[in-house]
């Protein structure tokens, strides 16, 4: 298995863990459980960012800049009317 595939797999797994930790945080019944899930979520988000950054630096996670016109149209669509 090459490094790109391995890192992509790990990134997908970490994203899944972020989702689980977020739901655990939201659904927590006590402050202690909430704090434990929130701390775990924060750690998972940091891990996800490090993996993404490494992949992006190697050109393994290309992104595209959204067109300015599309950004403007979306802002207008969701702006509150006065």
pLDDT tens for 44-74 read 999 999 999 999 999 999 888 999 999 999 9
Residues 51/16, Cβ–Cβ less than 8 Å: no
Assess whether pLDDT exceeds 80 at residue 28: yes
User: Range of 57's domain?
Assistant: 3-78
Is it the case that residue 82 has pLDDT exceeding 70? no
Pairwise CA distance, residues 79 & 48, whole Å: 31
Number of domains in the chain: 1
Compute the distance between CA of residue 72 and CA of residue 70 in angstroms, rounded to an integer. 5
- The mean per-residue pLDDT over the stretch 20-36 comes to 97
**pTM attached to this predicted model:** 0.77
What pLDDT is recorded for position 81? 73
CA dist., res. 48 & res. 61, Å (int): 13
Under 8 Å between Cβ of 17 and 41: no
Q: How far apart are CA 11 and CA 50, in angstroms?
A: 10
């Amino acid at each position: 298995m090459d490094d790109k595939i391995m890192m992509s797999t790990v990134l997908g797994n970490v994203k899944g863990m972020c989702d689980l930790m977020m739901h655990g945080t939201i659904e927590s019944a006590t402050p202690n459980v909430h704090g434990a899930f929130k701390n775990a979520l924060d750690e998972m988000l940091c891990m996800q960012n490090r993996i993404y950054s490494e992949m992006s630096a190697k050109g393994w996670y290309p992104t595209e800049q959204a067109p300015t016109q599309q950004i403007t149209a979306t802002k207008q669509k969701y702006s509150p009317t006065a």
